[in-house]
Chains A and B, each alone.
Chain A
Amino acid sequence: MKRRDFLKSTAVFVAGASVSLSALELVDPKEVLASRPELRWGFLVDTHKCVGCGMCVKACKLENDIPYDANVTRTWVERYAMMKNGEVIKDSPKGARDGFTSKLVDQGEAGTRLLRDKDIAQAFFVPKLCNHCTLPACVQVCPVGATYKTADGVVLVDRKWCIGCGYCIMGCPYGVRFFHPVVHTADKCTFCYHRISKGGNTACAQACPFGARTIGNLRDPNDPVAKAVLNERVGILRAEYGTKPNVYYIGLNKEVH
């Protein structure tokens, strides 16, 4: 065989093989089987019901093996105190794991600050967790594809593949990601995927004594969460980043973002 012929037939073979193999990419059998058009997990937080007890944070840490005393958490509760002079004071000591039991506000290096009742115009609590965005920035920036979105809309991290570069932590506009202190890979809320995919509830929603947190299927018109998102005036956090979050809030204030 001449060199020219060899190169020619190689080119023909490679071209032919790539065309037929690209069909597999267009119709990925795994994707077809896994897609679930009838299910899209969403979360509803009713801030009016939250009292800042921190049960959700505790439950989450215990359920998901996040070291109890480590200063990271998959979910947390923020306290907002709007003062009569227009000042807004916020804190979330240890992610509110132990609940808000005093009027002392934790300000890190700036020390603590005691709020007096007569100075406060209004105060409330806002629970936060991963927004499981429709267009997640963390999935976009992961260099190895270790963080991914499931067909039913939950964003997960593959602990066996994560290289621990921290790009997803930097890319998340909500600050929900951190390095797991034991596993040393990126970690975040999974909507308790191991529970909800078996028909269970998330640990935080189950632990909440006041029903401030609910998880549901946004594609099911009879689901309470989907109904609330449709019929009530709900808000989302940091819409300006274009990530299309799926955690909806009732009673969101302009100070919360």
Chain B
Amino acid sequence: MVEQVAHMMVHGEAWTVKELFVLPNEYVYWSIQIVLYPYMTGLVAGAFVLSSLYHVFGVEKLKEIARFALVFSFALLPVAMMPLLLHLQQPFRGIHVMMTPHFTSAISAFGIVFMTYACIVGSEIWFVYRQFIVESINRLEKKERRGIENMLLPIYKVVSLGARDLSPEALKADHKAVKFLAGLGIPVACFLHGYAGFIFGSVKANALWMTPLMPVIFIMSAVVSGIALCILCYAIFMGLRRWALPRGKTHFLPDHWAGATELTPEGLHSMQDYETKMTSKYLLIFMTLAITLELLDIIFRGYTAVRSWDIVREVIYQRDFFKIFVLQYGFGNALPFIMLLLPGLTTRRACVACVLVLFGVLMMRWNVVIGGQAFSLTFDGFMEYHLPIIPYDMETFKEGLGGALLVAVTPFVIFYFINMIFPAFITDDKAH
């Protein structure tokens, strides 16, 4: 009996509450995973743009965090795809998007844009770390290897692709390639994410989504969230490294194996302070741009007040007021903005501000994706989304809190392993 009832349960019914006149087939079809999809791609794109600020524009101040941002962006990359797969009703057919892309659809280009971007990030990392990899091979081959070093040597040999030339000309060519790839990566990263905005902005049936500003708003908030995440994680990982250093927990210090011997807690501390403060300034610039665009969108809707405005206004100013104006704009924008502007910025304050910024951007994605489905196509009814917290079947896990946490945790697991091969915190003046 239970099975039969579950069988009759329509996708979306488990978390949708309808009110007033809603069409029989209308549900919140795009739920938490579709909130996370633009959020994760945004983090990927933002982290990459941050790393490019150093590589392309030569912002020396961002040198240390830039390398971390690049590696972290690589770790985030596979996770950008995860929410989509968890959301699909037929996940095993996901590959069809690559096999038979239907190019009038905004989603169909995802595979191509995503793969292009992955290739750019992958090859940029390769060029950045080539010298390090070759030096590590040379060093490891000579010494007596212990434990993990036995695994690292073959990995490095494969990753080096046999290119072991360390002559000044070769290194110069590496530099050039990095600069070119980082430059190329900026428009591609913006495209990757702007186009996630296009997926929503081009849905003409949805009164809240349809605006040409959507891609631009998405890009700005992406850069904001990416930078905030990099600052936060950089500070946390540096703190972790400071904790690990005197205790000899070398698995948190992969660059230790790489021969970086000059690590001192004081050195780490000053670097952490300097980089977080510098990066915060860039965060402020992009936050201003993002907020301006979002407010422009709301003002424009109110001023033009087309037919859908009646219901959109009720959603924005009444039903979702707390989520939009208190959580997103208040705690997610205004508060961290002030925190970052006040003089005497400490790493701790910057980190708290970054947590708030990340939360604000997540709320923005939520308010766009879920808010866009909060009202019926008839403009006469409302739908409320209730995030499934305790799952009772696969669907409520995938599209519930469990699935969301899975997506949130994965990049850190990936980063832990990638960091062993490409130490993100290595401070080598010769490196790029």
Contacts and interface: CB of A to CB of B under 8 A. Distances in A.
B106 A141 contact: yes
B19 A107 contact: yes
B239 interface: no
A179 B21 contact: no
A114 interface: no
A128 B29 CA distance: 21
A110 B378 CA distance: 17
Contacts of B26: 175
Nearest to A175: B23
Interface in B1-35: 7-13, 17-27, 29-30
A134 to B, nearest CB: 15
A110 to B, nearest CB: 5
A142 B384 CA distance: 26
B205 A71 contact: no
Given A109-B17, A143-B97, A166-B89, A137 B25 contact: no
A224 interface: no
Interface residues of A, number: 52
Contacts of B102: 142-145
B29 A169 contact: yes
Interface stretch (A9-17, A28-36, A181-189, A191-199): A181-189
Contact of A181 (B8, B17, B24, B376): B8
Given A110-B19, A162-B93, A185-B90, A73 B25 contact: yes
B100 A164 contact: no
A173 B377 contact: yes
A175 B203 contact: no
Interface in B203-225: 203-206
Contact of B205 (A163, A172, A182, A184): A172
Interface of A: 67, 69-73, 76, 88, 90-92, 94-95, 107-110, 128, 137, 139-146, 161-167, 169-179, 181-182, 184-185, 241-242, 257
Nearest to A164: B89
Interface string B73-102: 000000000001001111001101101111
Contacts of A69: 8
27 contacts: A70-B8, A72-B24, A92-B24, A108-B17, A109-B18, A109-B19, A110-B19, A141-B107, A142-B102, A143-B102, A143-B106, A162-B89, A163-B94, A164-B90, A165-B88, A167-B199, A169-B29, A170-B29, A171-B205, A173-B204, A175-B26, A175-B378, A178-B10, A181-B7, A181-B8, A184-B90, A241-B204
A141 B100 CA distance: 14
Given A72-B10, A173-B205, A241-B204, A163 B377 contact: no
A90 B18 CA distance: 14
